[in-house]
Every structure is written in C-alpha cells, then in structure tokens.
Structure 1
Amino acid sequence: MIINHNMSAANAHRNMAINTGNASKSMEKLSSGLRINRAGDDAAGLAISEKMRGQINGLDQASRNSQDSISMIQTAEGALNETHSILQRMRTLAVQGSNDTNTSVDRTSIQDEINQLTKEVDRIANTTEFNTKKLLNGDLQGITGAKAGVLDKEATFANGSVKLGAVTNASLATATDVIRINITKDTFTDGSSLSTTGILSTGMFSVSTVLGNVNKAKVFVSGGTNIVISGAASTGSANADITIALTSAQMKALKSGDTITISLQKKEAAQTDSSKQIRAQIGANAGQELGIGIGDMGSTALGIRKTNGDALDLGSQTSSSGAIKLINNAIEKVSTQRSQLGAVQNRLEHTINNLNTSSENLQSSESRIRDVDMAQEMTNYSKNNILTQAAQAMLAQAKSAPEQVLQLLR
C-alpha cells in the first residue's frame, strides 16, 4: 500500500472536474439558449452564423429603408395630388375664359384666381419636404434621358385637320407654346390666290401665342398653300421652320371664325447628375440600390407660366382657349410623374416582402447553428450532474482508502 500518491483519488478528481466543467457548459447553454456562446464551442459555426447575422441585420435595415422610401414617395405623391386638383381647376377656368360671353370684370376675376393658383403650384413645389429634403423643386430629378420636343401631329381647326412638318429648327424645338392662327375673313375661294407676304399683312389671319416663346411675326404664308413658322424666340432669326402643308381644298375649307391650333413642347435636356437622385439602399450588400427621381413640378417646368414670369393670361378668348392645351400638357406631366412614383412604390412593397422573407429564412438558418436544443441539452446536463455527484462520491471513497494503513500501526 502507498500513501504518497493516491491515484484513485486523482482519477476521481480528474473525472469530477471534467463532469463539473461539462455541467457548467450545459448550464450556460441552458441559461442563454445558445449552443455557441464562445468561439471554442464551435469555431466554424460561429464564423458562418456571424456572416448570417450581418445579412439578417442588413436585410432588416434595408426593409426599414424601403419603408422610409415609400413614406417619401407618399409625401411627394400626396403633394402632387393637390397640384393635380389645382391644374384641374385652372383648366376649368381656362374653359370658362374661352367663352366670349364673359365681360372684362369676369375675366379679371378669372385672372386673379389663375394668378393665385399658379403661385400655389410653385409653393407646393418649393416647400414639399421629407426629412428636410425638398422633393418637387427639381433637386431630386437625378438621371433621366433626353426627351425630344413634342409637336402635335396635326393642327386642328373646325372643319378638319392638317398635317405638320417636322421641327427642324433647334431653337423652335426647345420652345413651349401654343400657337393659334385665327381665320378672320371668309375669303378663301381660291387657295392659289394667297400671296407670300406675312399672314398679318393679308388681313385674313390673326396670330397669337400663349406663352410668348414663339414670335408670331414669323408665322407667314409661303407658296400660297403653306403656313410656315420660322424661328422660336421673339428675338430669334433661325431659317428652319415648321410647315403646315395646306391643299387648296383645305384653304377653301377655312372659314371666318376657324382657328388652327398648334402645340409645342420643348425638348428636355438629359440629366446626368446622379447625386441629385434619391439612392435607396434596398439590400443588405453594397450596390443594392434603387434610384428614385422626381422632376421639377413648378409652374415654369410644367409650362403654365409665361416667359416674363407672369401666370397664364386668360384675359381674352383666344389666350384662354390656347391655355387649355398648355394646362392639359401640365396635367399629363404631373400624371406621368405620379404614375412613376406609384410604380416605384409598388416595387418597394414587393421589395419589403422579399427582404422580410429572406431575413426570416436566414434567421431560421442561423437558429439551427447558434440556438441550443433545450431538451437535448437538459439531458446532457442531467447526465453531467449525475456523473459529477458520482465522481464526488468516488473521490470521498478514494480519499479514505489510505487510512487503512493506520491498521498496520496498531
């Protein structure tokens, strides 16, 4: 028998320490609910799950970003809803002003309301904000392609319509205006009798423009059957033109009281500054962005303010009638912008659903790696606890074994 080295006690102590450590780890897992509490628990699992956590947090934040973007879009779209209402009222006033039964007092009242409505369109465009960002003043227009100038495919009058030639003048292609050629004399018995002098000098035509972007003095008869618009700005001197090709029969069809109406919309330059565009981060990773552009919704950009800064002039029947087309164009532009915002909002709603689904699936994957199976771990804890108690009992037995040596000393 030996007493210097109690190997039975050492063995029992070693196993008790192991069982105590395992029971402690099981208790830690049970109390935290996590299978991996430190890298030593599962080094590879920790690295994988941490990447998943980064993705989950990113997806959740991207979902919140998308919700913020929807809120911004709803703010802009709500403001444009009011702009639409204003434009509809302006159109109603233009139609009212186009009726020549109005007196000068009536027209003054109409003009006063048009002036105030135009100011309100600008106020909405300049003050609508989301998180202090102005939305409708053109600051967020961002990247857009160049839009060609639009010319009515036909010039219309009471007894028919006439085809228009292409816009070949660069200056004219960047003009927004409505040109009205009023027929003042019912004298077209022979279209070929028209001279090549300016329309104003024939006494047969009265030309007016609504915004003053086209010089009405440059509307003239050419070759007896063509009405030509040359140049755009009131000070321009370009040679190229728009031609209305009129046959003799169409000339004869023009009667006193008819009006040929031509609508021009200026060519819009391309926007290339991406910093002006809202960049919505709609993914967990770099580059997963959505550009949201909102155009300038002010009265000048909508084409309902004259070049001198005044509101549309509804002081006469002719100008009121021409203003209808301009207001129609403005309504169409606002409708297009609202439609685009609505499309982006619908896309973002699908984006949010996708992000939430992806986040949920990743959380499920992370849970399988990081979370502890409580039932299994409770079994392990119970086993380790029993083994610890058994090892403690054996240590007590091993400790008392050397005491038998005392029997030899008696």
Structure 2
Amino acid sequence: MVIQHNLTATNSNRQLGMTTWMQSKSSEKLSSGYKINRSADDAANLAISEKMRRQVRGLSQASANAQDGISLVQIADGAMAEVEDMLQRCNELAVKAANATMTQQDRAYLQLEINKIKEEVDAISGKTKFNEKYVLKGKITGETDTGSDVDIDTNTQMPSWAAISDNDGGYMSGTYTEGENSYVSSKVDFSSFDGSEDKKNELDGTGFYTTCCTCTNHYSIKFNVGEGDSKETSGNHYIFNVDISDCNSADDLVSKIASLNTGHFTTFKNGGDGTLYIHDNRTTAKPKPGTGRGEFGNGVATEKQTIDDKGGDLILQVGSDKTSENLIAIELPYISAKTCKIDSLSVLTQKKALEAIDSVMEGLGFVSEQRSRMGSYQNRLEHAIKNLDNVVENTQDSESEIRDTDMAAEMVKNSNNNILKQAGEAMLAQANQSKEGVMALLQ
C-alpha cells in the first residue's frame, strides 16, 4: 500500500475530465443547434458547409434580383400599354380626319389633340423610371456595368452633310497639329451647318461617339433642340446632350462641342471653318486597328455588354457565380414619338390623314413588339426564380444535414454523459477514500 501515488484516483479523474469535456461539447451543440461550431469540430465538413452557405445566400439574393427585374419589366410594360392607348386614339383621330365631311377647321382641332399626344409620348419616356433608372430610353441612357465593344444605333445617324473623316476602320487615323505638337485625331465637318431650322431639325436626336485610345471610356455627343444641355453616365459611357437651339452658325456649333470636358485624354477641338477635331490630348502614336481603342463613329454609341458576350442595357445577376448562365441581359425599349412613328403625324388634310393611319399602324406594331419582348423577359425571369428557389431549398437541406444538430441523438449522448459524470465523481470519491486505510496502520 503506497501513499505517494493514487493511480486509482488519477484514472478516475482522467475519465471524469473526458466525460466533462464531452458533456460540455454536447451542451454547446444542444444550445447552438449546430454540431459544427468551430473548425476543430469537423474541418472537412465545415469547408463543404461554407460552400453550400455561399451558394444558398447567393442564390437567395439572385432570386431577389430576378424579382427586381420583373418589377422593372412590369413598369416598362405598363407604360407602353398607355402609349399603345394613345396611339389607338391617334388612329381614331386619323380615321376621323380622313373622312371627306371634315372641314379644315375640324382637322385643326384634331391635330391639336394629336400634338398633345406626341408630347405625352415623349414625356412618358422621360419620367418612367425604376430606382432612378430610365426604362423606356433603351440603349441611349440605359445604365450598364461595363463594355468595351461599341455598336451604332442606326436611328441616330447624323445627316450625310456632317462628314466624318480621318477615321480608318473605326479608328482615329488623322493628325491634329497644335503648335509643335501633333495628335492622332478624327474630325467631323460641320461647315454646312448654317443655323437654320431645317439643319437643326436634321441634327436633332442624332450624334456621334468616340472611344478613348487607352481605355474603354466611350463619349457620345447627342444633339437636341430645346431640351437643354446635360451629361449622363452609363457605366463607362458618357453621354453629352447638346442643345443646339442657340447655335446660329457652324462655328457656334463646333465651339459648343469643343467646350465639353471629358475629364480624360479624349479632347474636342475647334479647328476653324466648321471643323471639329476629336483626339487624344497626348502626343502618342496612332492606335493599331484591332486593339479596341480609338474607335470613332457616326451615331450615338450604344454599348454591348462584354460580360461573357451578354448584350443588352441591363445585366441581371440571377445566379451565385459569374458565368454567362448566371446572367440575363435585358434590352430596354426606346419609346418616343419618333420611334412610334408619330413625330411628324399630321391630319390637316385628307391625304395626310390617310398617310397618318399607316404611320400609326406601324407605330402600334413597334410598341406591341416591344411589349411582347418585355413579356418574354418576365416569363423567363419567373422561371428563373422558381428554379432558384428550388435549388436554394434543396441545398439548404443538404447543408442542414452537415451543419445542424440532431437534437434527439444529441440528447441521448448528453443523458449518457450525465450518467457517466455522476459515476465518475462517485468512483473518484471512493478512490480517495481507499487511502484512508493507511491511517489505521499508522495508529
């Protein structure tokens, strides 16, 4: 019998410590609801669980994104429904004006209503927004995230008398000299602009664009009459709306454009004699075709999305990854009196009224086509949401199997640990008492 070491008590204490540790882990799992509370609990399954959590949370947000897209599309569709109603009214007025029983004064009254309808169609595109984003201004002002490719909206081509030159395959190829410095440049000849109403009307709604020689910044000049000067930003596309109503000569027009500041290397210069130069303000070499830099064109630039070759004005993130399958591109409609074919609608004569019937019919066809496209987007987004919700539900179930505590099984373990702890405490007490027999020998 020894007194220096009590191995029985030591063993009992070690077993009791292990039981206490297991009981604390069991209590932690029961109180938190998770069987993995730290990486040490299950390192491999923790990593798998976190990947699933990323997917679940990402897909849940993607579903919300798709729902926002549906809301935007519904706003556009509702506004176009109203435009269609106005076009139907224009058709009624045109048919009425085409009747030979109408007097000149009668047709003037009908024309007055048509003019107001034209104004409201244009107004609708300027006030229909979703989260401060225009939904009826299409590619011209639709906000985008990125895009280094440039396309041309053929409806905004400048008139032929505004000649573009020094433009080799879409790239600045000429030279602009200022003092001792020479710059790669393209130019536009506005010398035929005389400030007349006809010339202003020809430029109204048209424009041109250029791309920086060293980055993907796009700069568009869009002309208007009486709408005021403004600047819009669409990703890396900067649109300068230039009001030419007060330009009475080619020099006035070119000077106004030259006063614009891109805030970058691209510069507009008045070369005199109605010539506008567009150049990089550094003395750099001519960019080589195929580099995607220094593009220049006649027409207001419209950006093509380069996110996995997605095209459109809005790119919706409807997945948890960045691949093209997780993106939906929405090309917004551009609705105006001009695109609806009623900008020059007149019913002042019987002949014009008959022509107006055809114009309104064409405009109705255009708006109906745009509404049909919006409806297709909505249907696709609804299918995407259903699939996303299904994936989220089943992935969440799999993640739960890995991460969540099985409360029934854990309670069994906890009860077992409680019994083992009480037994361990009792055995430790008995082990300590076993040494008391030594005192009897010493008496």
Q: Residue 140 of structure 1: which of 135, 139, 142 is its match?
A: 142
Matches of 1:300 and 1:349, distance apart in 2: 32
**TM-aligned CA deviation for residue 302 of structure 1:** 2.1
Task: Indicate the residue corresponding to 1:174 in structure 2.
Answer: none
Matched, 1:399 2:435: no
**TM-aligned CA deviation for residue 294 of structure 1:** 1.2
**TM-aligned CA deviation for residue 109 of structure 1:** 0.9
Matches of 1:283 and 1:403, distance apart in 2: 73
Matches of 1:94 and 1:74, distance apart in 2: 30
Cα deviations across residues 44-71 of structure 1 (Å, max 9, x unaligned)? 0100000000000011000000000000
User: Counterpart of 2:62 in structure 1: which amino acid?
Assistant: A
Matches of 1:400 and 1:370, distance apart in 2: 45
Matches of 1:61 and 1:359, distance apart in 2: 10
**TM-aligned CA deviation for residue 284 of structure 1:** 0.9
Higher relative strand content? 2
User: Counterpart of 2:315 in structure 1: which amino acid?
Assistant: R
Contact 1:86 1:117 in 2 (8 A): yes
SS where residue 316 of structure 2 aligns?
A: strand
Matches of 1:397 and 1:295, distance apart in 2: 87
Task: Indicate the residue corresponding to 1:73 in structure 2.
Answer: 73
Matches of 2:80 and 2:150, distance apart in 1: 20
Matches of 1:101 and 1:401, distance apart in 2: 126
Task: Indicate the residue corresponding to 2:23 in structure 1.
Answer: 23
**TM-aligned CA deviation for residue 301 of structure 1:** 2.1
User: Counterpart of 1:140 in structure 2: which amino acid?
Assistant: G
Matches of 1:127 and 1:339, distance apart in 2: 22
User: Counterpart of 2:402 in structure 1: which amino acid?
Assistant: I
Matched, 1:304 2:306: no
Using the size of structure 1 for normalisation, the TM-score is: 0.67
Contact 2:313 2:329 in 1 (8 A): yes
**TM-aligned CA deviation for residue 274 of structure 1:** 2.9
Task: Indicate the residue corresponding to 1:293 in structure 2.
Answer: 331
Matched, 1:333 2:366: yes
Give the 5 Å matches for 1:103-182.
103-138=103-138, 139-140=141-142
Cα deviations across residues 231-288 of structure 1 (Å, max 9, x unaligned)? xxxxxxxxxxxxxxxxxxxxxxxxxxxxxxxxxxxxx999543387111001111131
Matched, 1:382 2:415: yes
Matches of 1:144 and 1:84, distance apart in 2: 31
User: Counterpart of 2:415 in structure 1: which amino acid?
Assistant: S
Cα deviations across residues 343-379 of structure 1 (Å, max 9, x unaligned)? 0100100000000000001001001101111111111
Task: Indicate the residue corresponding to 1:408 in structure 2.
Answer: 441
SS where residue 290 of structure 1 aligns?
A: strand
Matches of 1:273 and 1:284, distance apart in 2: 23
Task: Indicate the residue corresponding to 1:100 in structure 2.
Answer: 100
Q: Residue 278 of structure 1: which of 298, 314, 326 is its match?
A: 314
Contact 1:90 1:327 in 2 (8 A): yes
Contact 2:150 2:304 in 1 (8 A): no
Matched, 1:35 2:35: yes
Provide the identity percentage: 44
**TM-aligned CA deviation for residue 295 of structure 1:** 2.2
Task: Indicate the residue corresponding to 2:263 in structure 1.
Answer: none
Task: Indicate the residue corresponding to 1:58 in structure 2.
Answer: 58
Give the 5 Å matches for 1:194-213.
none
User: Counterpart of 1:297 in structure 2: which amino acid?
Assistant: I
Distance 1:115 1:148, change over 3 A: closer
* Structure 2, unpaired ranges of 5+: 161-200, 203-298, 307-311
Contact 2:153 2:302 in 1 (8 A): no
Matches of 1:346 and 1:99, distance apart in 2: 43
Task: Indicate the residue corresponding to 1:319 in structure 2.
Answer: 352
Task: Indicate the residue corresponding to 2:235 in structure 1.
Answer: none
Contact 1:141 1:294 in 2 (8 A): no
Matches of 1:401 and 1:147, distance apart in 2: 98
Distance 1:141 1:406, change over 3 A: closer
Distance 1:73 1:144, change over 3 A: farther
User: Counterpart of 2:319 in structure 1: which amino acid?
Assistant: G
Matches of 1:148 and 1:76, distance apart in 2: 23
**TM-aligned CA deviation for residue 140 of structure 1:** 2.8
Matches of 2:32 and 2:434, distance apart in 1: 41
Distance 1:318 1:145, change over 3 A: farther
Distance 1:338 1:269, change over 3 A: farther
RMSD: 2.4
Cα deviations across residues 374-396 of structure 1 (Å, max 9, x unaligned)? 11111111111110110000000
| Structure 1 runs of 4+ with >4 Å offset | 141-149, 268-272
Q: Which has the higher Rg, Structure 1 or Structure 2?
A: 1
Matches of 2:88 and 2:143, distance apart in 1: 24
Matches of 1:148 and 1:5, distance apart in 2: 97
**TM-aligned CA deviation for residue 303 of structure 1:** 2.2
Distance 1:80 1:322, change over 3 A: same
